[in-house]
Structure 1
Amino acid sequence: MTHGGGLLDGAKARLRWAAVHGLVRTVAKLGVRTGDPQAKLIADPATRANPKIIHQELRERGPLVKGKVAFLTVDHALIFDLLRSDDFRTVNQGSNMPAPMRLIEKRTRSGALHPLAPPSLLAVEPPSHTRYRKLVSSVFTARAVNKMRDGVQEVADTLLDELVASGASTVDIVPAYCAKLPVAVISDVLGVPASEQQRVLEFGELAAPSLDLGLTWPQFEEVEKGLRGFDAWLSAHIAELRKNPGDDLMSQLIDASEDGVYLNDEELRATAGLVLAAGFETTVNLLGSGIDLLVRNPDQLARLQEDPSLWANAIDEMLRLETPVQMTARVARHQVEMAGKTIDKGKIVVCALSGGNRDPKVFEDPDRFDVGRPNANKHLSFSGGRHFCLGAALARAESEVALRTLFDRFPNLTTVGAGTRRNTRVLHGYSSLPVSLGEPATVDA
């Protein structure tokens, strides 16, 4: 690239940031001063640190609250229905901005795929969505997930063996275990060789805030770097798999077709990117939050140790209480009447999944962690309807095996300090969680 080209690309990136994030940051900061709830979700540090405050405020104002830009809801029943409604569609990046900003966004795109831009499954609707999902579902079967569960156990055992062999008494469990395990599993899905797994992990970390609005310029630069890097790497990886297919699901997806129609390279990259984002980010966040919950609630950990059959339900309770994806949004296809309010065509409804997961009308004593909660699986953490998470079964299996194995091996594990939450608003989890491992349990030969 020439120096002039670099300057031009830099100017385009600045314009894109200003259109997509800079204006949002400015407006949101003003909105926080006037108490606008959506602005608080975007720009208020106190709300990010403790979203329960805004959830309670919204709940007191009714099932559907009108903000300055969008409607918001924390009502479980309303979110459940809305995610399944044909009256709404998913949000595409930039599609609901004012016309001048939308034009700038369109003309300054980097060309890298984005999880909220077509052909990502998160950003398309039928008939394209139906075709993509059918093809992905044809290889991402329950049988394939069950087969991967054995691989999860092997990875967990290997990582914990390495921790024991290191002799370390205190470790940061997020990079040492919570991140390494899901990236190894997703690498198996995508056919990524072990030598490339660290690169995939780095791309995932860089791109994690891509679902957020109102990024700072440094955050935006990191996200763009991650998306461009992963896009270029995926192009080369898919080309290699076409020449030398393996027994991984990505190779199978390359060969999958419906009525003789295959996914093209752009569609394959978008699907692989989403598998990485959903399969890695959701799980690493859930593992860190799950460890923290169990350490802070030793009575619940004791219940699991006494009755391991509760583990599957415990994972659903963790998903409910520490929702890895805090919110999603939908756009009205036409004028809709809902919860006594009129939602005009093109208006956005922000669904605070984490708020719906603590709806007291559905969950008794919703802020309490209860591994035996009878309706824990009623959470909204995997979305719903046609956009229900394809990797839900794998995420549950990974999390159950990873956490059960960790606490079986280190039953006296404790946290050291409060840990550090990720600086993201849509994704929720720990970026750092130092723990004292304690004496490992004896592993039978």
Structure 2
Amino acid sequence: MKERIRWMALHGFISGVSKLGARRGDPQARLIADPWVRENPGAFADECRKRGSLIRCRAAFLTFDHGVAHEVLRSDDFSVLEQGSNLPRPLRWIAKKTDPGLLHPLRPPSLLSVEPPAHTRYRKLVSSVFTPRAVAALRERVEQTAASLLDDLDGHDAAVVDIVDKYCSRLPVTVIGDILGVPDEDRPRILHFGELGAPSLDIGVSWQQYQQVQAAIAGFNGWLAGHLRELRGAPGEDLMSQIIRASEEGPRLNEEELQALAGLVLAAGFETTVNLLGNGIRMLLDAPEHLETLAARPELWPNAVEEILRLESPVQMTARAAVKDVDVAGMRVQKGETVIIHLAGANRDPNVFPDPHRFDIERDNAGKHLSFSGGRHFCLGAALARAEGEVGLRTFFERFPHARLAGSGSRRDTRVLRGWSSLPITLDARDAAMSSSG
């Protein structure tokens, strides 16, 4: 009963109100309750853009404008939000009273929900270990892992494989497992927790989704606490062991802070990269002319990844709260009010990206996208994600240049994260054609 009450406060009430608001055309409500919006973020952005660069909705402001998004993400006049912090006061009270005490990516001490000085302390510690040299070494691991996974696919007997299951999810979970010092036998559990916990960034989720998310978070919290105890007792050469040592020598993290940091590294490093790889494979299979260009000019791969990130942002939106009254795009945003930044819409702003819906791997400003957020909350793992995207996509298409879609696939049932839950692929269309003709 307690969990049901908590769900109602955090999600059920919002879901009900959003359904009503969506029928009345409120853009914020449609983000939550209109399935068409989730399927068509670019078209939704175009529709809303006509209403101005900053739109006042029933409960928040909303922007699809690249300039406004860039400004708010970098402004000291705005801060990140904690889960439930912008709910009506009675619902906040209920959420606090029913708090199960689980670590959550949108609650302190997660990097996603704290500001300086705590944010500075956590980020400085991670940055001291997550250096360019360390990322370069991880790139070698990405290449080795991709090659190994593709070897397995090469010997796959089935004519059709789900590339998300067999490749897109396994590559980042292996790399992030190395970072966290996760034993090989535990990695399937991490994959399972990640899949079930993906909607944790959404609001207005169903009761069934909420139960799955809570079970995943509880399971992951329990596993992670034990794993960190083992690393403290017998540290290795992995980056998590280095973070533990650094926290003991410098600005010390308590157990909760360390667990939150490790959890976010895993969740952010895994979930977004799975989506980047799945989105990239689907987009390139839909545009074989780009694959021909990339085969002839492989130096374009880094820019192609930027364009994939721009058009299909793995993280679709974020939000900030005003810490004081402030003017934005000619409108007054009062202290405590929320601005929802639709990253996917900002990435298709025609004032920044000409012909914004066109997939152009040679676009000269593709890297101006905001898919990794901005300001002090710019994604710490951006360099690694780019490396995984470039290596993962390039090596896949070099190994399987004749891969083709074998079905429509299915999208993940999430709104903040955008990706594929399944994507059936025929690895060698020539072999499939020969088999069917024989």
* Range class of TM-score, shorter chain: over 0.9
Q: Corresponding residue for 1:202?
A: 192
Q: Tell me the CA shift for residue 439 of structure 1.
A: 6.4
Contact 1:410 1:440 in 2 (8 A): no
CA distance in 2, matches of 1:51, 1:156: 31
Choose from 123, 135, 143 the match for 2:125. Answer: 135
Unaligned runs of 5+ in 2: 432-438
Choose from 382, 389, 396 the match for 1:406. Answer: 396
Confirm whether residue 384 of structure 1 aligns to residue 374 of structure 2: yes
Query: Superposed, which structure 2 residues align to 1:340-419 within 5 Å?
Result: 340-419=330-409
Which is further off, 271-280 or 32-41? 271-280
Which is further off, 23-32 or 252-261? 252-261
- For the residue of structure 2 that corresponds to 1:256, the secondary structure is helix
Q: Which amino acid aligns with 1:103?
A: W
CA distance in 1, matches of 2:251, 2:278: 41
Q: Normalization by structure 2: what TM-score?
A: 0.97
Q: Which amino acid aligns with 2:344?
A: S
Q: Which amino acid aligns with 1:232?
A: G
Contact 2:121 2:251 in 1 (8 A): no
- For the residue of structure 1 that corresponds to 2:425, the secondary structure is strand
CA distance in 1, matches of 2:332, 2:124: 34
Q: Corresponding residue for 1:177?
A: 167
Which is further off, 95-104 or 62-71? 95-104
**Number of residue pairs matched by the alignment:** 431
Q: Corresponding residue for 1:335?
A: 325
Q: Tell me the CA shift for residue 53 of structure 1.
A: 2.8
Q: Tell me the CA shift for residue 370 of structure 1.
A: 0.8
After superposition, give the CA deviation of every residue in 1:108-136 in whole Å (9 maximum; x if it has no partner).
Answer: 11211110100000000000000000001
Contact 1:334 1:344 in 2 (8 A): yes
Q: Normalization by structure 1: what TM-score?
A: 0.95
Q: Corresponding residue for 1:325?
A: 315
Q: Which amino acid aligns with 2:388?
A: E
Q: Corresponding residue for 1:7?
A: none
Choose from 138, 142, 145 the match for 1:155. Answer: 145
Q: Which amino acid aligns with 1:12?
A: K
Q: Corresponding residue for 1:97?
A: 87
Contact 2:142 2:388 in 1 (8 A): yes
Q: Corresponding residue for 2:134?
A: 144
Q: Tell me the CA shift for residue 206 of structure 1.
A: 1.1
Confirm whether residue 241 of structure 1 aligns to residue 217 of structure 2: no
Contact 1:74 1:359 in 2 (8 A): yes
Confirm whether residue 283 of structure 1 aligns to residue 283 of structure 2: no
Q: Against the structure 1 CA distance between its residues 440 and 245, is the aligned structure 2 distance closer, same or farther, given a 3 Å change threshold?
A: farther
After superposition, give the CA deviation of every residue in 1:2-27 in whole Å (9 maximum; x if it has no partner).
Answer: xxxxxxxxx11111100000000000
Contact 1:411 1:440 in 2 (8 A): no
Q: Corresponding residue for 1:301?
A: 291
Contact 1:289 1:430 in 2 (8 A): yes
Q: Corresponding residue for 1:72?
A: 62
After superposition, give the CA deviation of every residue in 1:282-308 in whole Å (9 maximum; x if it has no partner).
Answer: 100010110011011111111111000
Q: Corresponding residue for 2:51?
A: 61
Aligned residues with identical type, % of pairs: 59
CA distance in 2, matches of 1:139, 1:403: 27
Q: Against the structure 1 CA distance between its residues 354 and 160, is the aligned structure 2 distance closer, same or farther, given a 3 Å change threshold?
A: same
CA distance in 1, matches of 2:430, 2:264: 36
Q: Tell me the CA shift for residue 54 of structure 1.
A: 2.1
Q: Corresponding residue for 2:12?
A: 22
Unaligned runs of 5+ in 1: 1-10
